[in-house]
Structure 1
Amino acid sequence: MSDLKQHEMPSDELLVAFLDGELNGEERLRIDGLIKSDPAVAARYDFLARSEMPFFDAFEPLLENAPASDLEAILAGLPSSIVAEPQARNWNRRSFVAAAIALIFAGVAVDRTYLRIKDAHEESDGSEWRSVVAEYLTLYTADTLADVASDPTAQVAQLRSLGDKLGLDLPVSAIALPDIAFKRAQLLQYDGRPLGQIAYLDPAHGPLALCIVKSARGANAPQVEKRYGMNVVYWSDQTHGYVLVGHNPLDQLSALAEHLRTAIRA
């Protein structure tokens, strides 16, 4: 073995393989010797050892929802000097962590890869747009809607315009809620697509909104979650996704959502 190879800085993938006990024989002895004799290699090894914490586990749910081919395509677009292609394309802990660390130290933000996968995952389950509409409603107070005139003629026109954009029949009778004032319907946009917001003012709990987008995800029964301190009920039919969000107690919000779901579907 040449002196150059004996003393050169091992790759991150090789150090993580050593860390995971995946090296045998002469190569393991060589890396062990470098860690003990070379301060730079030792510091690098210590850093990777500390990265044992949540590195792979944090990405694992995303990897399950993102095909390995997508990750390979992202890394393949980077210069070969930045990311060495894993010998086995199975995206195990060793190859993923090594590539991620290499990206960080090359000045390429690994969070761009993370966010690309994360966005694809959230878009696939609809959570991203639910987060957007919930965050938007946090800007509302009771005063935001209190002075909006409840003009039946204007409301019918707003709903008709909104329905035309969404490809959905939205008569006032379909979106009316018992004892909660319907204030206005407006067209917003999310990710280049029309997003309808139907705003209400609950005298007890403040602003409440039903938001609608076109969706090809198919029918899904109502589910609940909490975002930005508000309760959220969401569901979908064959052509649209729906979110009802507000400060109402969850049982009340679920009952209101079921009321809307039944009325819109009728």
Structure 2
Amino acid sequence: MSDQKQHAMPSDELLVAFLDGELEGTERARIDALIKTDEAVAARYEFLSHSEMPFYNAFEPLLENAPTADLEAILDRLPAPIAAEPAGKGWSRRGFAAAAIALVFAGVAADRAYLGMRDVSGERDGSEWRGVVAEYLTLYTPETLANLASDEQEQNQQLRNVGDRLGLSLPAQAVSLPGIPFKRAQILQYDGKPLGQIVYLDPVNGPLALCIVQSSKGPSSPQSEQRYGLNVVYWSDQAHDYMLVGHNPVDQLNSLADQVRNALAA
């Protein structure tokens, strides 16, 4: 393993996997060493590890009054990765799932969602993924992306990996944006399906993301909206939904979206 790769900023999913005790062997040792020796990695890990704390404080009173027997019966029917309780954590995913169910029993609808959750009480037209992605991007700052290694070979491999999971060709030239450096491509997950995220760092407007999910809705022309204070341009082709999201002006996003759309269709 090259020294550059050894010290590259790990993706969020790798840090969360480390946090949840899902990494083993040399990969766990590598992430552990980075957290201990790299300030940027340590700061990102600290943010991700503490991001659960406010949820616990908010949901604890509901858990105290929740119908415990009903909750436990529902939790026992959940798949193991959801119901499992990570070792050594005071606030587990099982506890968070119980809190979410407690909200339903209490008649309270959660209005915030991150990549591990979704709001099933609102949009049901297939657009809810855009809200989840937009909210997740609000966690990004320029510092989140600034220290990512800009190795062209590694970035091309990331794009191939994302394309393979989505059944889509993603050549670097097709997703390059003029004057806006490409920083990372990675696979996330939404509603049990792969979600491709290609992240850029605009020198003027900050983090910008092109996100892609598989879809059978058919082609649609670009449209724009605002979500969580971010501008969004979204469209679809025969097999995928796309969104470009960031603080960039809508006119600029539309222009960039047209460029990507035409390049991917070529």
TM-score, normalised by the number of residues in structure 1? 0.55
Paired residues, number: 154
1:138 and 2:138 correspond: yes
CA distance in 1, matches of 2:206, 2:105: 45
* Matched residue type, 2:123: E
Change (3 A) 1:111 1:184: same
**Residue number in structure 1 paired with 2:164:** 164
**Residue number in structure 1 paired with 2:204:** 204
Change (3 A) 1:165 1:111: same
**Residue number in structure 2 paired with 1:122:** 123
**Residue number in structure 1 paired with 2:231:** 231
The alpha carbon displacement at 1:121 in A equals: 7.0
**Residue number in structure 2 paired with 1:103:** none
The alpha carbon displacement at 1:109 in A equals: 5.9
Gaps of 5+ in 2: 1-103, 110-118
CA distance in 2, matches of 1:143, 1:249: 21
**Residue number in structure 2 paired with 1:253:** 253
**Residue number in structure 1 paired with 2:218:** 218
Query: CA deviation digits over 1:11-61, x for unaligned, max 9?
Result: xxxxxxxxxxxxxxxxxxxxxxxxxxxxxxxxxxxxxxxxxxxxxxxxxxx
Structure having the larger proportion of residues in helix: 1
1:242 and 2:242 correspond: yes
CA distance in 1, matches of 2:121, 2:161: 31
The alpha carbon displacement at 1:111 in A equals: 6.5
Query: CA deviation digits over 1:90-136, x for unaligned, max 9?
Result: xxxxxxxxxxxxxxxxx966678xxxxx8387242x32100000001
Gaps of 5+ in 1: 1-106, 113-117
Alignment of 1:1-266 (within 5 A): 119=120, 122-124=123-125, 126-266=126-266
CA distance in 1, matches of 2:212, 2:124: 15
Change (3 A) 1:239 1:203: same
The alpha carbon displacement at 1:185 in A equals: 0.1
* Matched residue type, 1:206: G
**Residue number in structure 1 paired with 2:26:** none
Query: CA deviation digits over 1:66-104, x for unaligned, max 9?
Result: xxxxxxxxxxxxxxxxxxxxxxxxxxxxxxxxxxxxxxx
CA distance in 2, matches of 1:109, 1:127: 27
The alpha carbon displacement at 1:230 in A equals: 0.7
Secondary structure of the structure 1 residue equivalent to 2:120: helix
CA distance in 2, matches of 1:232, 1:218: 19
Secondary structure of the structure 2 residue equivalent to 1:122: coil
* Matched residue type, 1:144: T
Secondary structure of the structure 1 residue equivalent to 2:212: strand
CA distance in 2, matches of 1:164, 1:259: 22
Q: Which has the larger radius of gyration?
A: 1
**Residue number in structure 1 paired with 2:30:** none
CA distance in 2, matches of 1:119, 1:108: 15
* Matched residue type, 1:223: Q
* Matched residue type, 1:161: N
The alpha carbon displacement at 1:242 in A equals: 0.2
The alpha carbon displacement at 1:149 in A equals: 1.2
CA distance in 1, matches of 2:132, 2:105: 28
CA distance in 2, matches of 1:227, 1:166: 24
TM-score, normalised by the number of residues in structure 2? 0.55
* Matched residue type, 2:191: D
